[in-house]
Structure 1
Amino acid sequence: MKFITLILALSLSTCGGQTTEPSEAQQKVINVDPVTVPTNNGLEHAYFASGCFWCVEAIYESVKGVEDVISGYSGGHTSNPTYEASNTGRTGHAEAVEVIYDPSIVSFSTLVDVYFGSQNVTQVNGQGPDNGSQYRSILFYQNAEEKRILEEKKAEVAETVSKPVAAEIYPFQKFWVAEDYHQNYEKLHPEHPYIQNVSKPRYQRFKAKFPELIKENAH
């Protein structure tokens, strides 16, 4: 992910990338009806953006009832976004994850608790050292019930902090799968400086907060 000495140096503190101001086209993204992803073999799908997807993927993969987590892009106004394009800030997309889960084991509501419990809820346009609109926090809903849950949970969290909760609530439209080298990044590159200094500490903070949700074989 980091190709030359300068980029390697940045990897100590950031997942990478810069952004620009949002375009008018981005405003249209939140004014549409949500798309519902069909249940497949009893498994449902949820979508979250919460900073670098390397971190978020590792957190959700550790949760009981989660079958798979895929890194990608969502929330923008362009088609077929790439990592390089999303980092310009001109696509409107945020790094996001698709969480495939068994609702008989873990509920959508609990996945939202995981979301708020594993981030700095007041940080705008980023998480930790990662800053820019591609790292902003977004909760996606596929129906009225999910929207209700998101709004109620956000309101509950807002009562516990002194600054506004940064997470946006969007109607889900489409999830674009990220490049292969982003998938399972923490698991495949445990010694990467960013994983060691940012991703793993974030995961450990989450694990300490929600020990009852962690799979027995989770790292």
Structure 2
Amino acid sequence: MTETAILGGGCFWCTEAVYMEVKGVTSVVSGYTGGQTEHPIYEQVCAGETGHAEVIKLEFDPAVITYRDLLEIFFTIHDPTTLNRQGNDVGTQYRSVIYALSPQQEAMARQVIAEMAHVWDAPIVTELAPAQVFYRAEDYHQDYFRQHPMQGYCAFVVAPKVDKFKKTYANRVK
């Protein structure tokens, strides 16, 4: 039986690409959540008009990988100390956020955030919020990195994050 997690760590192309490589993750869908606009489209989200964050919704097998493990990877592959920003991606849509789907996920997220506060040199600004309605992103955003590995953003931003994951968590790679 699988469980679900919703995470936002900047551009969803980056987080999707990493989690698609994680052993125990059975599916990853890019999308939007956390805002007020129903059925947002990419252009609205990018313009900062919706309040939504770019996120991934992933299904995972807790017998293979725990929610805690997923969060530890999350705090390794993005900078949780930059408010509404990841590198050159700036805006609330790129915020660092964990959407908890249960009280257990919320408690674990709080614990991991507290532990990560000792790892990073700056304060962690990752938002922790109850899960809201998840809107699947347009089809062309799904599996983006695998379909466009030579596209500039993928080659220079996404690929290094995937490589970092593979080096740091070699035992977690599919």
Q: Deviations over 1:138-173 (max 9, x none)?
A: 001111111110011001111222311021001001
Tell me how many residue pairs correspond in the alignment.
Answer: 174
1:60 deviates by 0.4
For structure 2, the 5+ residue unaligned runs are none
Give SS of 1:117's match.
helix
1:51 deviates by 0.6
Aligned partners of 2:87, 2:165: CA distance in 1, in Å?
14
2:126 aligned with 1:167: yes
Question: What's the counterpart of residue 110 of structure 1?
Answer: 69
Question: What's the counterpart of residue 48 of structure 2?
Answer: 89
- Could you tell me which of 118, 124, 132 is aligned with 2:91? 132
Q: Deviations over 1:31-66 (max 9, x none)?
A: xxxxxxxxxxx1211100001111110100100000
Give SS of 2:99's match.
strand
- Could you tell me which of 16, 20, 24 is aligned with 1:61? 20
For structure 1, the 5+ residue unaligned runs are 1-41
Aligned-residue CA RMSD (Å)? 1.0
Counterpart of 2:115 in structure 1: which amino acid? E
Return the structure number with greater strand share.
2
Q: Deviations over 1:178-199 (max 9, x none)?
A: 0000010000111101100110
Aligned partners of 1:129, 1:148: CA distance in 2, in Å?
31
Question: What's the counterpart of residue 31 of structure 2?
Answer: 72
Aligned partners of 1:95, 1:112: CA distance in 2, in Å?
17
- Could you tell me which of 143, 147, 162 is aligned with 1:188? 147
Counterpart of 2:71 in structure 1: which amino acid? V
- In the alignment, is the contact (CA less than 8 A) between 1:65 and 1:102 conserved in 2? yes
Work out the percentage of aligned pairs sharing the same amino acid: 39
Aligned partners of 1:91, 1:150: CA distance in 2, in Å?
25
Aligned partners of 1:169, 1:68: CA distance in 2, in Å?
22
| TM-score computed with the length of structure 2 as normaliser | 0.96
1:90 deviates by 2.2
- Could you tell me which of 164, 167, 174 is aligned with 1:208? 167
1:112 deviates by 0.7
- In the alignment, is the contact (CA less than 8 A) between 1:69 and 1:100 conserved in 2? yes
Aligned partners of 1:188, 1:161: CA distance in 2, in Å?
33
- In the alignment, is the contact (CA less than 8 A) between 2:45 and 2:53 conserved in 1? yes
Aligned partners of 1:129, 1:212: CA distance in 2, in Å?
30
- In the alignment, is the contact (CA less than 8 A) between 1:50 and 1:126 conserved in 2? no
Once superposed, which parts of structure 1, at least 4 consecutive aligned residues long, lie more than 3 Å away?
A: none
